[in-house]
Amino acid sequence: DTHTYLGPIFMYAKGMGDLPDADFARLMRPFAIQGDIYYLMKAGGTQVDDFGTDAVVSYEFYYLGHEWRGWTVPPIIQGLVPFVELTYDQIVQARYGGTQPDIRALPGLAYMTNGWQITFAGELPLNAASVQLDHTAVVAMLSLSLDKIVPAFGWNPF
């Protein structure tokens, strides 16, 4: 973007890892939800306000532990995190009015380790306004935890 945007962003997250590690609750422990809701106002230029939200539901196999029902869970499986993300984005106030909402689903799979994460997802438009911008796409992301790779980056002055 060519201008600065300012506005509130409400972020939330809740994992079920605090459930008991027994019976049916053990299968619920890997579930997590996270997301945000935002309203951003353009700080200069033509007025364009952006409203959006997204929510991600994931299942982190790590929380099943190393053994499940007598079966040893291989470390490569423990790092897998299947997820579904739903996004909504819309220009709500602009010079000539707003836009139709852009609604998308991103089903995907992540592989997490202590120092990095790689994620692949398919981006699927769910309404006509989304298809006009682009059709189905594949998204890939590599995330590095620098404080895990180089401990000096984890320094905290407080």
Blockwise average pLDDT, block size 10, the chain, 158 residues: 85 92 85 95 81 95 75 84 95 75 94 91 86 78 86 76
Q: Is the dihedral of CA 19, 24, 26, 32 positive or negative?
A: negative
**pTM of full prediction above 0.75:** yes
User: In this structure, what token pair is assigned to residue 120?
Assistant: 């692949």
Confidence (pLDDT) at 154: 74
